[in-house]
Chains A and B, each alone.
Chain A
Amino acid sequence: MGETLLRLRGVQKRYGGVRALRGVDFDVLAGEVHALVGENGAGKSTLIKIVSGAEVADEGTVEIDGAPITGGSTQAAMEAGIATVYQEPHLFGELTVAENVFLGRELRTNGRVDWAAQRTRVGELLAQIGLDPAIGDVRVADLPVAEQQLVSIAKAFAHSAKVLILDEPSAILTDREIEVLFGVVRNLRAAGVGIIYISHRLDELSQISDRVTVMRDGEVVATKPTSELTVRQVAELMVGHALGSATADRPAPTGDPVLAVSGLGRSGAFTGLDLTVRPAEVVALYGLIGSGTDAIARALYGVAPADAGTVRVDGRQVRLHSPQDAAAAGIAMLPGNRKQQGVFANKSIAFNISSAHLRHLAKLGFWFDRRKERSIAEDFLRRIAIKAPDVGTAVGALSGGNQQKVVLARQLVRAPRVLVLEEPTQGVDVGAKEEIHRLVLELADGGSAVLVISTDLPEVLQLADRVLVVRKGAVVREFERGASQADVLAAAAGDEGETAA
């Protein structure tokens, strides 16, 4: 491994009252993949934002090749050779793929943008990460999400960087897309690039990283060669205490199905879906992104209604044309995209929890019972350790994991008959993950039916009594508890050669 490319010393950052970073030392060497892990809110993204100039450190120094960079200018950081893929992909729907990839650093020949050069270069990049090279001048808004995420990764490779930062790139990638990603990362490492790799999928670390730095509460608790650490050790370092084994073996569920779906379909998304979930049963739908699982979830919740088939809850056939219908039928849903579909960021925890139960919390039909709202919220704050001083806290002030808990709490207020969970623990740390799994199983044990829709295979296998594999909008196979990762993945990926999209 080569000389030190990036050196942080005593970096501190405060957001209003929150101390996001408290004196962090951190190095990246040439030709190493340096994994950065930590619970939600540990400070990883903040660290990244400072290195990449999106934020200015309150104290401490950042050096690239021994040259200190003054934060606050993303431009300067890029010129210094830092490329970043941020946690949430930032793309511009109205601009083409090529324009997005080169945004801010267009290829120029004597001042003017060299569109031809960009098109050829973007072609290579897209090919590299397994996308159709021809989509270079397609509007990004016209691409499916998965491809958008890949584009945002292509962006990071567009320029020869000294240090490449990947903040949870795998969070919304499917395993085969991750493989593509790793391939590119390994090439870059070989080329002497220093890579910072942030992820909550600890199992990835051993495959890709050389060193691991664990953060907790804005501090670095350990930096070790990956070879010297087991996944469990890393996890325990992150949460700061020993972990109990999570896998619960639960009694085989019995009784008439709570949720019975037959022949459900939505043109262009999925077809002929049959599935039943019995009381206290957890069923998972597993599929690669674009397989249509998300569409199934939206159909069951009435957001994007199905145009064929029937849904029965406790034997009664229900009409699902809007979330209101779903709620009336006893179906609740934890949406997959926390930021866009989940939280009201600048509103309080109480507001966020009560927002789906306004009628339930109404007196005389219109007067809103704020006392009841408060007591419900405080109850949840106690029951599920949400890290917040009080229920008046704005949800935006919480880290990803805690935000997720709040959104989940919203679904649990009136224990629903059917709970649909879409990517329940995406971008959530191990500690919070355990917590969320516990809550879900609690609900199930109460006799509700739980349908998990996830692209996180270990989670699926751990949580579900049955796994239905979906490909191209149809269920292709069913597995009982205890199936092997390899089998499920193979079923989901289908035969070689076809693109994940």
Chain B
Amino acid sequence: MTEIETVPAAERARGEGIAARVLRIALTERVVLLAVLLVVVVVWFRVLGAGGYLVAPYDVRYLGNALESMVPFALLAVAELFVIVSGRGGIDLSVGAIVSLAGMAFGFMVGVWEWPLLPSIVGCIVVGALLGAVNGALVAYVRFPALIATLATYYAYSSLALISNGNAPISTPPVVALHSLTRNVNFPEPLPPVPLHVFTILLPCALLAWVVVSRSTYGRSLYAVGTNDVAAAYATQSVARTRFTAFVMSGLLSGVVAVVTVGQFASARPDAGIVGNGMALPAITVAVLGGVAIQGGIGRVGGVLVAALLVTWLNAGMLLAFPEGAEGSRYQLLALGLVLVLSALLNTVALRRYGRLS
């Protein structure tokens, strides 16, 4: 993907030793850096486990299980990739709220109006896309700063989700039955059981997103618009539509996540996407960790997915390493914060070391 190459060509042209090259790639290619980190994390926890420092084996079975919690964040991080790459401070704070609201819509379709499954899923995703389209219209056409528009819709959507069913979750039998969407599928040993929706939802969506971002003409204009929208306009790109579409994609993926969460929770919760710290901040964090540059025009689906996997398995390990009370979930916070800041620092070092143009 030379189009997001940031290392001066002269750099590559200059003769350099293998070791130096490896170091350079590890430091400048976010995906590689993350992959390395991922291996380190897994190996490290295996070692801890072997040394008896974990309260339970950190084995493939457990890692397979952990994937369940990865799916929403991976998808939402990809959603953030679209909007952040689209540039001019693109960001979507409303994804969590969209998950809540679209999820409630899904709940009504399946659980109250008793639509069949497929139409309901489509319906849910469409609702998500529409909510995203509102953001897109505000940002791309009315030209609100993305942070402001999505902050506003975050508030609005969350409150609508709560009002929609008088604060109550929807968990009628048809909704409860949806849990089968996210059941584990077993494989012959030594393969671990893996949540079904990793195959039915995460991988297809990720592949689709990759094609759109990295292999389609839309992806090209997305990067162009995100890098320099004035130049993009002169290069006959329709800037507004490209940005708009990015937000629609974000909403659409949030709709998909809504389906997943309703399945996972076996109920449509009006606060699904906003309880605790909400889903938006973690998703943005994962996206950024995955190498999506806040100033736009830079970022890859691959990086984001690896980042999501890294965070998931790191968190899973933390729970076994710090069994006492809330220690586990606390150290998850610390780890996430440190990984984020340190990897960003590494980038700075890399850029200072290898030079970054404009």
Name the contact of B236 in the complex, choosing from A324, A340, A342, A350 (C-beta under 8 A): A324
Give B contacts to A, CB under 8 Å: 2-14, 215-221, 223-224, 227-228, 230-238, 297-298, 354-358
A344-B224, A345-B358, A366-B216 known; A355-B235 Cβ under 8 A: yes
Q: Which 9 pairs show the lowest CB-CB distances between chains A and B? A: A16-B355, A17-B10, A396-B357, A393-B9, A345-B358, A396-B358, A392-B2, A356-B235, A17-B11
CB interface residues, A 334-378, toward B, < 8 Å: 335, 340-348, 350-351, 354-356, 358-359, 361-362, 366-368, 370
Which among B232, B235, B237, B356 has the highest number of chain A CB atoms within 10 Å?
A: B235
Q: In the assembly, what is the distance between CA of A410 and CA of B236, in Å?
A: 11
| Inter-subunit contact B234/A341 (CB<8 Å) | yes
- Is there contact, CB below 8 Å, between B235 and A18? no
Contact of B2 among A303, A324, A348 (CB under 8 A): A348
Residues in A neighbouring B233, C-beta threshold 8 A: 303, 323
- The reply to whether A368 and B215 contact each other, CB–CB distance below 8 Å, is yes
Of the candidates B3, B10, B13, the one whose C-beta lies within 8 Å of that of A348 is B3
A396-411 vs B, Cβ < 8 Å mask (1 yes, 0 no): 1100000000000010
Number of residues from A at the complex interface, CB < 8 A? 45
- The answer to whether B10 and A355 touch across the interface, beta carbons within 8 angstroms, is no
Contact with B along A2-38 (1 / 0, CB 8 A): 0000000000000111100000000000000000000
Q: Do A354 and B220 contact each other (CB < 8 Å), given the known contacts A303-B233, A322-B238?
A: yes
Whether A327 is near chain B, meaning CB under 8 Å from some CB there, is yes
Q: Which residues of A contact B (CB under 8 A)?
A: 15-18, 301, 303, 322-324, 326-327, 333, 335, 340-348, 350-351, 354-356, 358-359, 361-362, 366-368, 370, 388-394, 396-397, 410
Are B355's CB and A394's CB within 8 A? no
Contact of B298 among A15, A327, A346, A389 (CB under 8 A): A346
CB distance A355 to B220 under 8 Å?
A: yes
Question: Least Cβ distance of A113 to chain B in Å?
Answer: 31
Q: Given A340-B228, A350-B2, A355-B232, list of 8 further CB < 8 A pairs?
A: A16-B356, A17-B13, A343-B228, A368-B216, A390-B9, A391-B2, A392-B9, A394-B9
How far is B231's CA from A340's CA once the two chains are assembled, in angstroms? 6
Give chain A residues whose Cβ lies under 8 Å from the Cβ of B217. Answer: 358-359, 361-362, 366-368
Instruction: Return A16 CB to nearest CB of chain B, in Å.
Output: 3
Bound: A40/B166 CA distance, A:
68
CB proximity of A298 to chain B, nearest CB, Å? 10
A15 to B227, CA, bound (A): 22
Complex Cα distance A288/B141, Å?
A: 34
Structural contact, A343 and B231, CB atoms closer than 8 A? yes
Q: In whole Å, how far is B242's beta carbon from the nearest beta carbon of chain A?
A: 11
Residues of A close to B2: CB separation below 8 A: 348, 350-351, 391-392
**Known interface pairs A340-B230, A368-B217, A368-B219. Does A348 touch B11 (Cβ–Cβ under 8 Å)?**
no
Nearest chain A CB to B276 CB, angstrom units? 36
Contact between chains at B3 and A342 (CB < 8 Å): no
Contacts of A345 in B (CB 8 A): 227-228, 357-358
Minimum CB distance partner of A16 in chain B = B355
Identity of the chain B residue whose Cβ is nearest the Cβ of A347 in the assembled complex: B3
A323 to B231, CA, bound (A): 11
Residues of B within 8 A of A366 (CB): 216-218
In angstroms, Cα B235 to Cα A366, docked, is 18
CB–CB B358/A17 < 8 A: no
Asked if B234 and A16 make an inter-chain contact with CB atoms under 8 angstroms apart, the answer reads: no
Report whether B8 and A397 are in contact in the complex, using a CB–CB cutoff of 8 Å: yes
